[in-house]
Structure 1
Amino acid sequence: MKKVLNYKLPVLLMSLFFVISCQNDPEELLDEATETTTQRIDKKWLASDNHPVVQLLYKRGYEKGSIYETEEHFLAPPDLLYSKDINDYDLSNTTDVTMKQAFNTGRLVSLNRMRINVFFDNSIGAGLQADGVAAINELNGINNCALFFVRVFNANQANITVRSDFGVEPANVLGRAGFPSNGRVFNRVTLNVDRLADFGFSVRRNTIIHELGHCVGLRHTDWRNNGEGGAVNIPGTTENDTQSVMWHIIRNRANPFTNGDLTAFRALFPRALRMDVVNEINDYDYSGEIYVLDNVFVDVFTDGSYTTSSTLNRNVNVSYRLNVQEYNHTSGSYYYNRNRTLIAGSSRYFIDEEEEECSPYQGETCTQEDIEIRLATSVL
């Protein structure tokens, strides 16, 4: 979402609900900084009401004439980026999960993707890059939260790229980002570099924290007043937390997070999960018959650095897909969607089995199974 300035306030504050893991240690620098063309100029124009995505956004509560368009995204008030591909949206429910939570979008980063690489593009300048590092350090300093941000120096390694808006945003928008999809972070934060130069360190840092918060699934604390659609509150938080880092107006706070911010991040991202496949049976014979059985587990870690094993401190729903590939006599693929609930209190959980069966005989069809975790979310 974009950051908005309120000229009636004595200070400009940007709100953000963003909690990350307790790790503060920097990771090794990865490769050389990628060169960027900083002379680029983006353009925006009023989006056509006939576009299917724009029509969907109107159904979700946005006012007609409020949606703008660039070559890459739709821009929605106050500071959100939306994909221009209608296939990226869940059309089975017109309210869509992006409007169902008060302090998160309903679309969250999966708990098995808690390590998030961030690339600071040269277009934001050295000063904002340093502010971005400070933002990551604040987020990584929140204990009991699994998010773990790592600065990388190669754009190809990035999950999120932070770059200039290249002149698109008006003066009252400090930054803009979008929400996750398919359990993966939104991959872009744009900053109004020229306008941010008018403010001090805290505003600049908190703006970046705010936009990173959107990338992992957090929405504005004051969603209702912004006309952003119905929502369900995260227990222990309130819509009236005016100092929240996820408030739509940036807050000039030395400590960016309120107690409500911390509660929200710890509830949404309690632990990091990592899948472990353990072989149980390898059965091969001289005729060429093959049977392989693997058990699939998930291990629990304090955060996305995956360095410290931990006990799950909140129940978690895991949605996964059992992909089946046929080969030999026939070929094709299909899958089964399945769900499991992990009950808090353990550090390792059995998920399911993967099998591979194959026979060399004519007319036999071989099958191979593979488990893919699609989304793992905390039970609020």
Structure 2
Amino acid sequence: MKKQNSFIFSILFVAAIVTLAACQKDQKTETSAQGQVSEETLAQIKAKGFSTENVRAWNGGYIVENDIFLDQETLTTESSTPNVRIAEVEQYRTNNLVKSLPRVISIQVSNLGTAFVDGTDLAIQRYNALGLNITFKRITSGRADIVIKGFYEGPSGGFITLGSAGFPKRNGDPYGSISMNTHPQAYGTNPDVQYVGSVIQHELGHCIGFRHTDYMNRAFSCGSGGNEGSAGVGAVHIPGTPTGPDSGSWMLACSNGGNRTFNANDIIALNYLY
């Protein structure tokens, strides 16, 4: 997720690394990072159904769409599930989803401050209140399914990355980590728990298989940008979600600068999948 450097706010998601919906992203990123990505890798990213604009190498993989992390396994794994359609603003999922339901997914916050711990608890509370076949719990010891950890990165090109995550693994496990930016210009020196929690809520959406609601037209929530990628696989429409604008969705590509949780259509999508 990214936010404009002039803003002081928070969110949740991708990419997804994925950065909102509660995350805010934009097509503005470092051109030098783009140069580090080979044409072969860009072709793999495009074939998976993601935008190849402003891709950057990061932590052994690649960040696409400003907050979605793709590792080598994701790039090289073929899927038999087709990309269904290009539409308006609806909920979309990735090909891989969390399996072995009902299931409790454990989350651990690693070496982050109180606002990130409380934000995690807020995101967990919001998911668990829906009565889904997946629930979340925060643990303080032992091995967690998802680890929330920090990174420190300042603004670039007028935007700053707030957080990122990846998509479920082929074996049915959720993506195993969420990265949250601890730079003061990301959340400020006294982070707002609802803002941080909204970003974590968004990134958890990526971890369990949600793409951005407005992936086909980033300008809807970001003010600029086009289709994040419609070719190949990885953007399957979730039946029952609307075909018109859905301004309140927790999985919109860019943050509204504050607290954002599930709207009615998000709940339809979550109940359909889980």
Which TM-score tier does this pair reach, normalised by the shorter chain? 0.7 to 0.9
Amino acid at match of 2:153: G
Q: Supply the distance in 2 between the matched residues of 1:65 and 1:252 (Cα, whole angstroms).
A: 24
Cα deviation for residue 257 of structure 1 reads 1.1
Code of the residue aligned with 1:80 in structure 2: it is I
Determine if the alignment matches structure 1 residue 147 to structure 2 residue 152: no
Matching of residue 242 in structure 1 with residue 232 in structure 2: no
Q: Which residue of 2 aligns with 1:263?
A: 268
SS in 2 for 1:163: strand
The change in CA–CA distance for 1:169 and 1:159 in structure 2 (over 3 A counts) is farther
Gaps of 5+ in 1: 19-43, 270-380
CA distance in 1, matches of 2:8, 2:217: 21
Partners of 1:201 and 1:259 in 2: CA distance = 23
2:166 counterpart of 1:178: yes
What is the CA-CA distance between 1:202 and the residue it aligns to? 2.0
Greater share of helix residues, 1 or 2? 2
Partner residue in 1 for 2:99: 110
Q: CA deviation at 1:55?
A: 2.4
* TM-aligned CA distance change 1:189 to 1:201, over 3 Å: same
Structure 1 pair 151–63 and aligned structure 2 pair: CA distance change class (3 A): closer
Q: 1:223 aligns with which of 210, 215, 221?
A: 215
Whichever of the two has the greater Rg, that structure is 1
Question: Is contact 2:103-2:133 (8 Å) kept?
Answer: yes
Residue 164 of structure 1 is matched in structure 2 by 150
Determine which structure has greater relative contact order: mean sequence separation of CA pairs < 8 Å that are 6+ residues apart, divided by chain length. 2
Q: Output the CA distance in 2 between the equivalents of 1:68 and 1:254.
A: 28
Question: What is the 5 A alignment of 1:172-321?
Answer: 172-182=160-170, 183-194=172-183, 195-197=186-188, 200-226=192-218, 227-230=227-230, 231-238=235-242, 240-251=245-256, 256-269=261-274
C-alpha change, 1:113 and 1:81, in structure 2 (3 Å) is farther
CA deviation string 1:361-380 (max 9, x = no partner): xxxxxxxxxxxxxxxxxxxx
- Tell me: CA distance 1:65–1:219, structure 2 relative to 1, closer, same or farther (3 Å): closer
State the percentage of identical aligned residues: 23
- Distance (whole Å) between structure 2 residues aligned to residue 166 and residue 113 of structure 1: 36
Does the 8 A contact of 2:166 with 2:177 survive in 1? yes
The AA in structure 2 aligned to 1:264 is A
Secondary structure at the residue paired with 1:139?
A: helix
Cα deviation, 1:70-109, whole Å, max 9, x if unaligned, reads 233211122100012467521678x679x99942112211
Q: Within 1, Cα distance between the matches of 2:58 and 2:236?
A: 31
Report the RMSD for the aligned CA atoms in angstroms: 3.3
1:73–1:261 Cα change, 3 Å? same
Secondary structure in 2 matching 1:223: coil
Does residue 55 (structure 1) correspond to residue 43 (structure 2)? The answer is yes
The structural deviation recorded for 1:138 is: 1.4
Q: 1:71 aligns with which of 38, 48, 59?
A: 59
Q: Which moved more, 1:212-221 or 1:126-135?
A: 126-135
Shift of 1:64: 4.8
Gaps in structure 2 of 5+ consecutive residues: 14-19, 23-31, 219-226
CA offset digits 1:193-229 (Å, max 9, x no partner): 2212365222111000000110000111101013223
C-alpha separation in 1, matches of 2:198 and 2:151: 17
Separation in 2, partners of 1:267, 1:180: 17
Question: Relative to 1, partners in 2 of residues 1:185 and 1:258: Cα closer, same or farther, differing over 3 Å?
Answer: same
Moved more, 67-76 or 193-202: 193-202
CA distance, structure 2, for counterparts of residue 103 and residue 247 of structure 1: 11
Answer whether contact 1:6 1:249 (CA < 8 A) is retained: no
Query: What's the secondary structure of 2:94's corresponding residue?
Result: coil
Indicate whether 1:131 and 2:119 are aligned. Answer: yes
